[in-house]
Amino acid sequence: MKYRIAWMKGDGIGPEISDAAIKIITLLGDIYGIEWDIRFYEMGDEAKKRFGTALPKETLDGIRSSDLAIKGPVGETAFESIVYLRQTLDLYANLRPAKSYKNLPSLKPIDVLIVRENTEDLYKGIEFKINDIAVALKLITEKGTRRIAKVAAKYALNRKKKVTIVHKANVMRITDGLFRDISKQELKMFDIEVDEKYVDAMSMALIRNPQDFDVLLTPNVYGDILSDEAAQIAGGLGFAASANIGDEFNLFEPVHGSAPDIAGKGIANPYSMFNVLVMALDHLWISKNDSSAMHAKETLEKAIESSIEKGYLTPDAGGKLKTEEVTKYLEQELKAYVR
């Protein structure tokens, strides 16, 4: 199979971790007979400096005409680029897995998938001021809730078949009340266990007993906050990836920002971007029913786990290796798995 990828390297450490991931996806393509047509586009602070916009039209067109869109982190222009893209391309499902690894310090063992509605809620951007009063509107729709609940169910079926609906319907009775009720209605149609938790109790429970949870279904804002918490429980932002998926388009990216403090030093943790590849391959498997993408994904996941277990890590994760060295070791692991 041949797939076109629109790749935006982004700002700060974005180019370094992108280059590492391109080596890995190229190797996987060679092993599994997948042909990648990778096209590079500009997005973020650098793009704004050069073209006057953080999201040039060519980039948007490139994303629209590709099978996969992969981006590195962007700096100050995140709102103009990624938040805008989520709305414009209707990337309504934000998937954020958080998983701890053997030999990597984590607060507690955790393996959860946060399924976050990505286009509504307070992040809809409906904000205004009346004299000295600032207002933001929280928007939750039945349609938006139904479709995100279906996504949560679909992923839960391939995991531990359990979904926890996160809300604050005791206070936000109408908006979060709708989210809770419609989610329950949808989830009832699937053979999965469903429970619910107030978001404040959830943030506590996630630290106390993360192993009690599997898929968390959340409105936009709660998912944003809980996913950073979950990433930290799992072992830090340097490993966390996320997917933005709609019915037509997709965008895969690391959870962290552009890390300007370490940019250009060659020590950025590339595992976030390797996990981005895991999610992108998983999407190809699900959306195109391509079994070579599934095999590539499974091999990559195992190789990542064993690389981490063997201590092939950058300084942020307690290791001593450079980005390039970690990448070389992962290449070796990949080759060992398919031998």
In the complex, the residues that contact ligand ATP under the rule CB under 6 A are 12-13, 73, 75, 237-238, 256-262, 268-269, 272, 316
Shortest Cβ 179–ligand ATP spacing (Å): 28
- Cα 260 to Cα 11, 76, 292: the distances in Å are 8, 11, 36
Residue nearest ligand ATP, Cβ-based: 257
192 versus 267: smaller Cβ distance to ligand ATP: 267
SS (H, E, C) 241-291: EEEEECCCCEEEEECCCCCCCCCCCCCCCCHHHHHHHHHHHHHHHHHHCCH
To the nearest whole angstrom, how small is the minimum distance from the Cβ of residue 262 to ligand ATP?
5
Tell me the DSSP string of 308-330.
HHTT---GGGT----HHHHHHHH
Least distance from ligand ATP to the Cβ atom of residue 81, Å? 12
Q: Least distance (Å) from ligand ATP to the CB of residue 273?
A: 8
For ligand ATP, the closer of residues 54 and 163 by Cβ is 54
Helix, strand, coil share of the chain (percent; to 5) = 50, 20, 30
Burial class (CB in 10 A: 0-12, 13-18, 19+), 31: middle
**What are the φ/ψ torsions at residue 114 (nearest 5 degrees)?**
-90, 120
Smallest gap from Cβ 59 to ligand ATP, in A, equals: 18
User: Tokens 């996504």 appear where?
Assistant: 151
Residue 323: CB minimum distance to ligand ATP, A: 8
Is the CB of 100 or the CB of 272 nearer to ligand ATP? 272
Is 283 within 8 Å of 245 (Cβ atoms)? yes
First to last CA, the chain: 22
- Pick from 301, 154, 286, 143: nearest CA to 215: 154
- 237 versus 286: smaller Cβ distance to ligand ATP: 237
Q: Measured from the CB of residue 82, what is the shortest distance to ligand ATP in angstroms? A: 11
Check: CB of residue 314 under 8 Å from CB of residue 322. yes
Q: What is d(CA 160, CA 158) in angstroms, rounded to the nearest whole number?
A: 7
Question: Cβ(197)–Cβ(168) under 8 Å?
Answer: no
Nearer to ligand ATP, 217 or 240 (CB): 240
How far is C-alpha 121 from the geometric centre of its chain's CA atoms? 19
In the complex, minimum distance from the CB of residue 250 to ligand ATP, in angstroms, rounded to a whole number: 21
For residue 53, give the DSSP letter: S
